[in-house]
Amino acid sequence: MIKRQGVEALDNSLHDIMDRPELSFAEKTMVFGGDFKQVLPIVQRGSRAQVVGASLRMSYLWDSMRHLQLVHNMRAKSNLWFAGYLLRVGGGSEEATVNDEICLPHDICVPHTGEDSDLDTLIDCIFSNLNANMSSKDYITSRAILSTRHEWVDMINMKMIGHFHGDEMVYYSFVCAVDDPHKYYPEEFLNTLTPNGLPPHVLKLKIGCLVILLRNIDPVNRLCNGTRLIIRGSKKIP
């Protein structure tokens, strides 16, 4: 997930050092980790034009590194059909329309009706028999619903919490503005903010629900940022 500017800086430096500006990375062998076909350009709060521009720059970068193209999808190796489908999409060999749009197979789609119940249908499809399997860590950590916007993630999380049985636990954050004698930033306003890497002001949890760690608390014991955990108990904070 290195920033594009870092790769371009390395490319330009090798051009200058080797005096071979016409060749990608001055024809030096470069090894990158990860699957380029699964790395999408991200423009924080960017306009449509900025996102398209980032996509074009990523396409140019990908074209310059065609010799690194992967032929195996290790993340989906347990599902050979889906792994092959992802590779065809990433390699540009999957059949597309005249507008370069790819129709997803019906087998991997959940019908969209435009009703408010569509999200419940998606949750029931991904997390079928949720409460019967909530004690299984393999079941609960092998499923996820992805979203493109943070506010949608919060909404989906709240909806998911409602699908778990048991009492709901509610935790509130404590925030205050430092060096704000004129009270330009009241507590009510601060409570509406959800910075990256922090949970919402009102955090609702239930026993058995899944959470994701946002800090490297104990790397030695694998408690790192991004680790999936299951709520097994709770306590009141004085």
Of the candidates 77, 78, 65, 61, the residue with the CA atom closest to the CA atom of residue 28: 65
pLDDT in tens, 110-124: 888 888 888 888 888
Between 47 and 138, name the one with better pLDDT: 138
The rounded Cα 113 to chain-centroid distance in angstroms is 25
Phi first, then psi: give them for residue 13, nearest 5 degrees.
-65, -40
The pTM (predicted TM-score) of the whole model is 0.55
User: What confidence score (pLDDT) does residue 238 get?
Assistant: 61
